[in-house]
Amino acid sequence: MGRLFGTDGVRGIANRDLTPDLAYKLGFAGAMVLAGDTIHKPKILIGCDTRISCGMLEAALTAGICSAGADVFLCGVVPTPAVAYLTRKYSCDAGVMISASHNSYEYNGIKFFSGSGFKLPDDTEDEIEAIVAAYDEENHTRPLGGHIGQRIVMEEAAHEYAEHIKRRLSVDLTDLKIAIDCANGASSAIAPDLFVDLGAKVFVTCNKPDGLNINQNCGSTHLGQLRSLVLTKGCDLGLAFDGDADRLLALDQYGNLVDGDAILAIIGADMKENHELKADTMVVTVMSNMGLDIMARETGLVLEKTAVGDRYVLEKMLAGGFNLGGEQSGHVILLDHSTTGDGILSALALLRVLVRKQKALSELAKIIKVLPQILLPAKIPDDKKSRALEDEDLLKTIKNYDALLNGRGRILVRASGTEPIIRVMIEGENQEAIKEMAEHIVDLIIARYGA
């Protein structure tokens, strides 16, 4: 059996991979590890997105946590960064978010936060996983009577998070027309009113979740509906969140994509100009477009690079004392304001640059020239990922293609930490050529290791 925790918590198809039984054990183990040494009665906070399976998993998690003697604070539907913030606000010992982020509704996930609002390091996740693996119903002494945990509903949690965001990064959005795609997810009841409160004229799509439509042809992974809204309403820009609202992608007034790399470039350059960027440094991942490297050299920015995953970006930010980092996918971490990626906060930081410079997003986005990039998935079982990545013919093919790129592009082949796929990313100057290369590599992987 592989490691239970991936790059972003425990994730899988709800009621098959992520069952109520597993959720119960994760709740019990999480409480034991994260709140076991407290002298007070432990408190653990839970939030969720809009998936149909969230209620089922929330109930199981709550039972596991309460059975370990910890109280549970239920926040209902809130963005992932709200869990990080509210865990600190309520002085909880840990926080838990039930969400599978950008994945479709049949998936779900459980990710833990420490009492300080940060995602857990690998060794702490390993402790939780060890208790889950060794769990035996008969070998645990559980609290009794008044020592059993209670379930406490926090009615105002979402409102408190929204007010916190407005206090942290308030921007006067008067006269701006903004289109928003809420992905039928956790931002649906929060984002529209927040931007209206700041003065914007707001047009919204995909803010009516029904448990099944989260990320369905909408949000940061499907920008078509948002693009139509931007163009038909004559908006200044469009903002697309994912299911748990911890990432942001944007569209300019012409409907052109402004991805995570471009958002980081715009915000980073502005922060540097205003002496707000610590050590003039941004932390990004190896997936970032080479155009970001070129932009950094031209503007005097320093790039620190990590493995893929916002948790690794955050680790390097904390280690180096940096305050801006993120991923091409739209995770942006503004460490002066939040301990994790926050799509709504990132949108406000981007809008602050528009207001400061009085320029259109299309003009601001010119700061980075993005090289053509192809990103394709090769769907294979999780237990075959390691063998596939070590395949001699695959490595030889990659080496040959890398030689053809001749330093004017790059190839990155890596296993997803959240899905049963290997991602093939190629950058280069010739779109058609790199597309053929990527398709060939994907076909090779699937032919040898596909299900």
Question: Which residues are catalytic, by number?
Answer: 101
Tokens of 42: 């432990």
Q: Give 342's contacts (C-beta < 8 A, 6+ positions apart).
A: 79, 81, 165, 245, 246, 332, 333, 334
Q: For the chain, what's the residue count?
A: 451
Tokens of 194: 């927040």
Residue with tokens 């865990």: 87
Contact indicator for 241, 247 with CB cutoff of 8 Å: yes
Tokens of 326: 């993120």
Question: How many other CB atoms are found less than 10 A from the CB of residue 153?
Answer: 10
Residue type, 163: E
Residue 95 parent element (H or E): strand 94-98
Nearest CA to 287 out of 230, 331, 228, 320 is that of 331
Residue 136 parent element (H or E): none
Phi, psi of 368 (to 5 degrees): -125, 130
Residue with tokens 């596909």: 450
